[in-house]
Amino acid sequence: MKTLLGILGSPRKLGNSEIAVKAISRALQEPHELKLLRISDFDIRPCRGCYTCLFKEGRCVIDDDLPRIREALFDADALVVAAPTYFLGPNATLKHLLDRGLSLLAYIETLWGKPAVGVGIAGIVGKEGYTRLGIQSFLRALMCDVKGCEILYGALPGEIFLNEANEEILSGLAAALFQGPPATKNAACPVCGGDTFRFLENGHVRCMLCSNTGAFQMDENGVTFDIQPATHEMFLSKASAIRHREWLKGMKARFLEEKDRLKKICIDYLKDGTWIKPSRLEKAETPRCS
Ligand SMILES: Cc1cc2nc3c(=O)[nH]c(=O)nc-3n(C[C@H](O)[C@H](O)[C@H](O)COP(=O)(O)O)c2cc1C
């Protein structure tokens, strides 16, 4: 039997994110076991940016609950991620976990291509900000095959189902989970399906999901984009993920080459400013540039 892993960004028990994930599970035709993981239950500390995991087969120097989440990701056949909008983006638990995701690059072969869908919840219609983009980015960085991501509105716990249309939207996501590639929507990036763009100076746009740029055209039928993949892709294919990992590893040699010059730049700033610290760290040494 397949395992569907529901990852919940919301700390709110039986809130909209949780019931949305459970509704997708109920609507899913394939026999499966639903496993649930609330990110805020786990002790996940901030990434230290040391890059050690890249050279130690994914082993992070921080001793916390990350391995437990990694195991759950390994065991899953498919993923559903649901997160509430907090201040115009997905709540921070998603990013907090994702920042530790560099260590997952050691497991591209195991993780690549698990089908996944996302749900963002917002309390006020139109006030979801970048929640959809944030959830899509999260799923892509987990190397998932993203089959869909929708925003539902509802502020109070359970409120999403005061609107019956939301049940259909969630059933649609359930149906998409084990189907072929999603149809490219109008006004979406033809490379990755993202729908959030930055306008550039030369009449071009940059897709905020895959970072590729290109021209766009607007006419009575809507917007169309002429965007091509660039040379340094990160998660468009398994090969590009592997190349990105090897590029990151290559930075070590570059760092060793440039170490002295870089140190000279940083050391000049060593004594600027007065650090405000929590009382337990007041006597600790000021962080230094290595
Ligand atoms: C700290 C905080 C910030 C919020 N910011 C937004 C926001 O920017 N836009 C919005 O539409 N809703 C916002 N909301 C409302 C939640 O998205 C909404 O209540 C949602 O139903 C929560 O989902 P949950 O039940 O899964 O926790 C915010 C809620 C909280 C607690």
Ligand 1 atom with minimal separation from the 126 CA: 11
What residues have CB less than 8 Å from 280, skipping those under 6 apart? none
- Contact between 71 and 37 under an 8 Å Cβ cutoff? The reply is no
The residue to mutate among 18, 85, 128, 159, having the most atoms of ligand 1 within 8 angstroms of its beta carbon, is 85
Ligand 1 atom with minimal separation from the 82 CA: 26
What Å distances lie between residue 64 and 49, 60, 100, 117, CA to CA?
16, 9, 11, 27
Q: How confident is the model at residue 286 (pLDDT cuts 50, 70, 90)?
A: low
The amino acid at 68 = R
Ligand 1 atom with minimal separation from the 157 CA: 25
Residue 248 has a pLDDT of 95
pLDDT at 53 over 90: yes
The domain segmentation of the chain, as residue ranges, is 2-183, 239-281
Q: How confident is the model at residue 232 (pLDDT cuts 50, 70, 90)?
A: confident
Residues with CB under 6 A from ligand 1: 10, 12, 15-17, 84-88, 121-124, 127-128, 154-155, 157
Q: How confident is the model at residue 289 (pLDDT cuts 50, 70, 90)?
A: low
Worst-scoring range by mean pLDDT, 152-156, 280-284, 285-289? 285-289
Residue 69 has a pLDDT of 98
Atom 21 of ligand 1 has which residue's CA nearest to it?
A: 155
pLDDT at 288 over 90: no
Around Cβ 113, how many Cβ atoms within 10 Å?
11
Residue 148 has a pLDDT of 94
CA of 122 to the centre of ligand 1 (A): 5
In this prediction, residues 253-276 reach a mean pLDDT of 96
pLDDT at 36 over 90: yes
The residue to mutate among 14, 86, 135, having the most atoms of ligand 1 within 8 angstroms of its beta carbon, is 86
Q: Report the alpha-carbon angle 60-62-68, nearest 5.
A: 75
pLDDT at 182 over 80: no
Atom 23 of ligand 1 has which residue's CA nearest to it?
A: 84
pLDDT at 25 over 90: yes
Worst-scoring range by mean pLDDT, 178-187, 197-206, 281-290? 281-290
pLDDT, tens digit (0-9, with 9 covering 90-100), for 234-246: 899 999 999 999 9
Structural class in CATH, domain 2-183: alpha beta
For residue 14 the two structure tokens come to 């039986």
Residue 183 has a pLDDT of 72
Orientation of helix 165-177 relative to helix 16-27, angle to 10°? 60
Q: How confident is the model at residue 285 (pLDDT cuts 50, 70, 90)?
A: low
pLDDT at 283 over 80: no
Residue 287 has a pLDDT of 57
DSSP code at position 128: -
pLDDT at 75 over 90: yes
Q: Which residue has the tokens 């994914």?
A: 58
- First-last CA distance in the chain: 50
pLDDT at 282 over 90: no
Where are the alpha helices (H) located in the chain, listed in sequence order?
16-27, 52-55, 66-75, 93-98, 108-111, 131-141, 165-177, 238-267
The number of angstroms, rounded, from the C-alpha of 7 to the middle of its chain's C-alpha atoms is 12
In this prediction, residues 76-97 reach a mean pLDDT of 98
